[in-house]
Amino acid sequence: MSTVLDVRDLKVAFHTRNGVVRAVDGVSLSVEKGKTTGIVGESGSGKSVTCYSLLGLIPMPPGKIEGGTAAFGGQDLLKLSESELQKVRGRRISMIFQDPMTSLNPYLRVGTQLIEPLRLHEGLSKSEAMKRGVEALREVGIPNPEQRIRQYPHEFSGGMRQRVMIAMALITRPELLIADEPTTALDVTIQKQVLDLIRDLQKRLGIAVVFITHDLAVVSEVCDFVNVMYAGRLVEAAPVRELFAQPRHAYTRALMRSIPALQKKGQPLYTIPGLPPDLAHLPPGCAFRPRQTPERQALCLTDRQPPLIEISEGHWVQDCPGCVIRP
């Protein structure tokens, strides 16, 4: 089991006019070859920023990587210059994004965009690259690839566009694929197709995948290991089955309770009370405390961030007395 990516204590902040927003506050995670690591959390939990900062894709004037390391292929991604990062992006680490409608350039033909990584990173000629492009489209299940490759994005449906994105991301056979909520904007039936496609390709190509999502149902489908983030911090991390069987942190448990499909019909849907915290004014102690019941709130740490401990094998949790359920 080789580790493809090893992130330690990543800290990313945005220096805005309203204060310093600590989007990522000391997150560590690792990704194994051939496995899918999930990052779960609400909007604003820092899950996307974590991954974007690995590739230097956050806007750096307000954004700043304040600490941590990210070991990948013998290099620390966080210390690379822009030109060095350009060699990694699209070639060794690829990303696919949430909205396939807007993530493809409407002014360029699909083929042009699709083969761009090949021409850029492998120096292929246009005709060679086009051949690979047609193959790539076929691989992701797009019919008539020879004709489709010359079309424009608006001539594809949403699900097909996402397949094109996947083809584009994997055309250079990267070692790591980061998928930022790739199915959130799609219909449920198409969602399943795309998820199956990703899993399929992963098995075939042996790539490592980081899967960002807020949907626990999707997590149970695709991920091998799950990291749960809240307010820029990691609150729990465990292999997927273990996490669903024994969620230890109050936040994880609350998330599980909120899955609509698991709730009784006729009852009001469960929602976690309160709102996510203002990342510009994070409390020094447990971040989840304000949303706890009053009795448990009294037990939460208020003076320091709860440390991550390995509560059972491979299962880590933020050790806050108010939030953690001990075995």
Partner 1 sequence: MSAATAVITAPSGVSLSKGRSLWQDAWARFRKNRLAVGCTVLLAFIGLLCAFGPTVAFYKFGMTGETQDLVLKASPPSAQHWFGTDSLGRDLLVRTLEGGRVSLKVALIATLVALLIGVSYGATAGYVGGRADSWMMRVVDILYAMPFMLFVILLTVAFGKNMTLLYLAIGAVEWLTMARIVRAQVLTLARQEFVEAARSLGLPGRMIIFRHIVPNVLGPVIVYTTLTIPAVMLLEAALSFLGLGVQPPDSSWGTLIDDGANNMETYWWMLAFPAGIFSLTLFCLNFAGDGLRDALDVKSGKD
Partner 2 sequence: MLRFTLSRLVQAIVVVFVVFTLTFFMIRLAPGSPFATGEKQMPEEVMEMMKRSYGMNKPVYQQYFGAIGNYLQGDFMPSMKYEGRANAKIILDAFPVSLTIGISALLIALGIGLPAGIIAAVKRNTFLDYSAMSLALIGICLPTFVMGPFLALYFGIKLEWFNVAGWFSPTDWVLPSVTMGLIYAAYIARLTRGGMLEILNQDFIRTARAKGVPGWKIVVFHALKGGLLPVVAFLGPALAGITTGSFIIEKIFNLPGLGQHVINAVFNRDYTLTLATVVFYTSLLVAVNFLTDVLIAWLNPKVRLA
Interacting residues toward partner 2 by CB under 8 A: 55, 57, 61, 82-83, 85-91, 94-95, 97, 99, 102-108, 116-117, 120-121, 152, 154-155, 165, 168
User: At which residue do the structure tokens 């990516």 appear?
Assistant: 5
- Comparing CB distances to partner 1, the nearer of 25 and 175 is 25
How many CB atoms sit inside 10 A of residue 268's CB?
Answer: 6
- Of the candidate spans 100-108, 153-161, 205-213, 272-280, the one that interacts with partner 1 by CB under 8 A turns out to be 272-280
How many CB atoms sit inside 10 A of residue 83's CB?
Answer: 7
Chosen residue from 108, 217, 262, 275 binding partner 1 by CB under 8 A: 275
Find how far residue 288's CA is from the centre of its chain.
Answer: 21
- Smallest distance, partner 1 to C-beta of residue 236, A: 21
Distance CA 282, CA 21 (A): 9
Name residue 115's amino acid: I
Chosen residue from 87, 126, 150, 281 binding partner 1 by CB under 8 A: 281
- Residue 46 contacts which entry, partner 2, partner 1, none (Cβ below 5-8 A, type-dependent): none
How many CB atoms sit inside 10 A of residue 156's CB?
Answer: 19
Residue window 221-260: x/- pattern of binding to partner 1, with contact defined by CB under 8 A: ----------------------------------------
Phi-psi region of 233 (alpha: psi -120 to 50; beta: other; left: phi over 0): beta
Chosen residue from 99, 290, 297, 315 binding partner 1 by CB under 8 A: 290
The count of residues interacting with partner 1 (CB under 8 A) is: 8
- Residue 280 contacts which entry, partner 1, partner 2, none (Cβ below 5-8 A, type-dependent): partner 1
Phi, psi of 145 (to 5 degrees): -60, -30
- Of the candidate spans 123-131, 140-148, 168-176, 277-285, the one that interacts with partner 1 by CB under 8 A turns out to be 277-285
By CB under 8 A, tell whether 280 contacts partner 1.
yes
Q: With CA atoms as reference, report the closest residue to 218 among 197, 239, 199, 195.
A: 195
- Smallest distance, partner 1 to C-beta of residue 290, A: 6
Distance CA 68, CA 58 (A): 16
By CB under 8 A, tell whether 284 contacts partner 1.
no
Find how far residue 111's CA is from the centre of its chain.
Answer: 27
Distance CA 66, CA 95 (A): 23
